[in-house]
Amino acid sequence: MDHLLMLMLLLWSSGLQAEGNHTSTEHVRLVGGVSRCAGTLEVKHEGDWRPVSGSDWSLKDEAADVCRELDCGSAVSIGQRIEFSERSVWRINTLCVQSGSALKDCVASRYSYRLLDLTCSDSVRLVNGTSLCSGRLEVKSDQSNQWWSSVCEDDFDQQDAEVVCRELDCGAPSVLQGALYGEVEAPMWTKEFQCGGHESALLDCRSSGSDRNTCSPGKAVGLTCSEPFRLVGGASRCAGRLEMKQGDWRPVDVSKMTLKKAADVCSMLDCGSLVSIRPSYRAVPLKTSLWWINSDCLDSGSALRDCLTSYSSPSIFDLTCSDSVRLVDGTSLCSGRLEVKSDQSNQWWSSVCEDDFDQQDAEVVCRELDCGAPSVLQGALYGEVEAPKWTKEFQCGGHESALLDCRSSGSDRNTCSPGKAVGLTCSEPVRLVGGASRCAGRLEVKHQGDWRPVHGFDWTLKKVADVCSMLDCGSAVYIGPSYRAAPLRGSLLWINSDCLDSGSAVRECSTSGSSPSIVDLTCSDSVRLVDGTSLCSGRLEVKSNQSNQWWSSVCEDDFDQQDAEVVCRELGCGAPSVLQGALYGEVEAPMWTKEFQCGGHESALLDCRSSGSDRNTCSPGKAVGLTCSEPVRLVGGASRCAGSLEVKQGDWRPVHGSEWTLKEAAVACRELDCGSAVSVGQREDSSNTSLWGIYYDCGQSEYALKECITLDYSYFLLNLTCSDLLLQPIITVSSSMYGVSEAQQQGAPVLRRSTFTISCSIQPQYPGGSFQLTFTSSNSAHNYTQPAVNHSAHFLFPAAEPAHQGSYSCVYHLHVFNHTFSSESRLLSITVLDPTPLIIRAIVLPLALLLVNVALYFYCKANRGQMPCGQKNTELVRYKLGVPAAEEEEEEEGAQGAE
């Protein structure tokens, strides 16, 4: 009975698996290939099977998902097939697929003659690896078997690994180790593979006759195949045109590849650091089908092969990596721990001992890597390694083109003290030329031994700030077109802005290109604002001259409003708005030692006079924190909060108005202190004025507008209207008894059943409009509306009652610029007083005084001869008025003395 129950459960489980497999493939299939795991990709959507358009697919994401959905193995190749027909195809939204959605949920109809061909492996796959060419090996014996089985390391050798790597279209096996990519319990492959190494597929190999029932834990095969790419046509295996094998060898289009990404290629080839990337002028057959690298995929850390897609393009580039030296674990391509490899047959990279390396050796390395002069040479600066170590001392003259061209000591070094591995930082090969100082001019980067201008499209001040920092200049002040003579087209460097945004060095983000747009930059020479929220805010630091490498903070006691005006003007910002010590952090030292004495009209802070004596100390929390207003304005509108947007950078220029949304407009309204954005539009201007364009991604962030502008040309100017357009109305109350009272917290009194008037008014800005008087009490609320006459309205209340007691406000409504704007006054509190107690007081008090006087009269008359009644009466009156008798006596004595 137990056996029968177990059989039924197995049959039921198999049915579920078959049903699940059918479900996963009912919308996706590969047709026309040698197996069900190869062919043209077709997707069923809305009952219609159509082929898929083949652009911008990569092996890692979209292709791997299809192979997994088909229950095939790893993605092996992806390509395009040209088919000229009138039928429409499906286009797959790759971002949709990458988000985890099924293919059928990401389709859209289109027309294309490029169809996607895909090949998955039938029966082997690598899972849980770092790329498509690495992972734990799994095998499926046939398509009717739904189980993928891991392979035991004891049943797998190097020749078997060569067959798997070849079957998956990867390079030769480089690592074969059990449990390298995780361990599984079951199932395990039960036979031993006996490959000769020449087979095209693992299941073509012979296998042992007997089954293996067990496999020790940690023995599931983990395999890493090398990436199948090469550099061809260069002076060594580390230089030339990049080619990738996927079925056949094809050139790779690297038109969007930066030096930073190309450095990964050098590392994969086991070459040294990247030296250059440039257009390839070698003959390439016309209409050659190329591989194109998906740059977003590569940015995510994926292997080069995982990011390929088939493409046709003439953009072929040559790559040059250093043969025998590299800098590793640094912050840029020009910094890191120095490692050397003596020859290509030696697979070991060796660190160099600091005792065997000097400044002249460093100059050679920096030159070999196409970097600037060495700036820092220090042991263990970029980490320490145990072994191996380079065993000879370099003896360079400083003029050699490569480190291994230098002479070296005859004897070997056997030991190197810990912490002595050479850490080297070369300066970034960036400069500004043709300006008034070394901190201004046309931006140039050194590449392949010569200096080239930089293509300036979509550069912003935020990006320029990084260049200023690399040059040890101050804050970024200006970016604009260069009118200086520049080399002809074809010799410029193009900077990948996304790369630069990630914090990489300028050189790392450059690639060759051609463009007439050359950029001029200006950084401040001797002042900067650091750690602020924008380029116009931060802690003030000063550098007295270029030979002084120290930036000094300034003490708040030595800095005033006029000094701040000069700094803000020097940095191209608006007037100073906040000046407060330690607003942007505090520093210990160094501190500027003299007091600035600016008149406020100077163009630079160091042009100001300064005190003769030095200050030795500055109290904690006194380092100057300065915020300058943003140089933004709206012009040509009915108020300062409406009109054409202009930004000042050197001079005032309008802003190009395309693609602006209310989200970007809100940034401008906020900087103008004009409330929320109400409308955004365009105004045509045929004056051919150069404009500022706002870099879209930057404008959506929290950066200031000034940081996001880039030079542009357009006939359409940006018109902007902000909500804070109206002044605040004034509310007053007038009554016959108390006169006029303005809004106040303690309340304006009016008498019950008396007449009172509440008046709303506003300073003249626009004609028309209306006032709404809003009344709120503890148990009711009312609104009264009148048109504005002479910018005011008067609300008459004939008889005040307790129900009128509460809070009143005036709301001014105005329709202008096709929008309705509103502005509300302060609250006016009304208190309604009952007149009865006042009437009683007015009658009873005079009557009481009269009775008191009569009583005094008769009392005095009855007591003649005693204290004069006049004196008593006076004393009583004084007492009533609060004057003590003692004071009265003093006054009388003084009067008698005077007589």
Are residues 688 and 736 located together in one domain of the fold?
no
pLDDT value at residue 855:
79
**Does 775 score more than 90 pLDDT?**
yes
Q: Which residues contact 551 (CB under 8 A, 6 or more apart)?
A: 528, 541, 542, 543
What DSSP state is assigned to residue 389? B
**Does 877 score more than 50 pLDDT?**
no
Residue 558 maps to a domain: yes
- Report how far residue 70's alpha carbon sits from residue 26's, in angstroms, rounded to the nearest whole number: 9
Are residues 808 and 737 located together in one domain of the fold?
yes
Residue 308 maps to a domain: no
Mean pLDDT in residue range 464-474: 82
- Report how far residue 444's alpha carbon sits from residue 521's, in angstroms, rounded to the nearest whole number: 10
Residue 300 maps to a domain: no
Query: Residue 19: pLDDT band by 50, 70, 90 thresholds?
Result: very low
Most confident of 259-268, 324-333, 445-454, 880-889: 324-333
pLDDT value at residue 20:
33
Find the CATH number of the domain harbouring 565. 3.10.250.10
Domain boundary among 523, 558, 575: 523
Are residues 532 and 614 located together in one domain of the fold?
yes
Residue 551 maps to a domain: yes
Domain boundary among 98, 120, 142: 120
Find the CATH number of the domain harbouring 764. 2.60.40.10
Query: Residue 797: pLDDT band by 50, 70, 90 thresholds?
Result: very high
Are residues 463 and 500 located together in one domain of the fold?
yes
Instruction: Output phi, psi for 529, to 5 deg.
Output: -115, 125
Residue 282 maps to a domain: yes
Pairing of strands 492-495, 450-455: parallel
Q: Are 807 and 827 in contact (CB under 8 A)?
A: yes
Domain boundary among 665, 699, 722: 722
Question: How many folded domains does the chain comprise?
Answer: 9
Most confident of 131-135, 182-186, 337-341, 469-473: 337-341
pLDDT value at residue 874:
45
Query: Residue 365: pLDDT band by 50, 70, 90 thresholds?
Result: very high
pLDDT value at residue 759:
94
Pairing of strands 75-82, 89-92: unpaired
Collapse the DSSP code of 451 into the 3-class scheme (helix H, G, I; strand E, B; otherwise coil) and give the result: strand
Residue 293 maps to a domain: no
Residue 336 maps to a domain: yes
Mean pLDDT in residue range 622-643: 86
* Tokens coding 178: 């059990």
Are residues 474 and 412 located together in one domain of the fold?
no
Are residues 99 and 140 located together in one domain of the fold?
no
pLDDT value at residue 300:
58
Among 299-303, 560-564, 655-659, 736-740, which stretch is predicted with the lowest mean pLDDT?
Answer: 299-303
Are residues 205 and 172 located together in one domain of the fold?
yes
- Report how far residue 687's alpha carbon sits from residue 887's, in angstroms, rounded to the nearest whole number: 87
Query: Residue 383: pLDDT band by 50, 70, 90 thresholds?
Result: confident
**Does 384 score more than 60 pLDDT?**
yes
Q: Which residue has the higher pLDDT, 307 or 152?
A: 152
Are residues 637 and 576 located together in one domain of the fold?
no
pTM of the model: 0.55
Q: Where in the sequence is the domain holding 271, given as residue range(s)?
A: 229-288+313-321
Are residues 109 and 200 located together in one domain of the fold?
no
Strand pairing partners for 390?
none
- Report how far residue 675's alpha carbon sits from residue 819's, in angstroms, rounded to the nearest whole number: 15
Mean pLDDT in residue range 841-868: 72
**Does 230 score more than 80 pLDDT?**
yes
**Does 863 score more than 50 pLDDT?**
yes
- Report how far residue 321's alpha carbon sits from residue 844's, in angstroms, rounded to the nearest whole number: 109
Q: Which residue has the higher pLDDT, 792 or 240?
A: 792
- Report how far residue 844's alpha carbon sits from residue 448's, in angstroms, rounded to the nearest whole number: 107
The pLDDT > 70 percentage for the chain reads 71
Are residues 415 and 477 located together in one domain of the fold?
no
Are residues 734 and 814 located together in one domain of the fold?
yes
CA dihedral 439, 442, 447, 448 (to 10 degrees): -110
- Report how far residue 554's alpha carbon sits from residue 822's, in angstroms, rounded to the nearest whole number: 45
Are residues 340 and 385 located together in one domain of the fold?
yes
Residue 38 maps to a domain: yes
Mean pLDDT in residue range 471-495: 64
pLDDT value at residue 881:
38
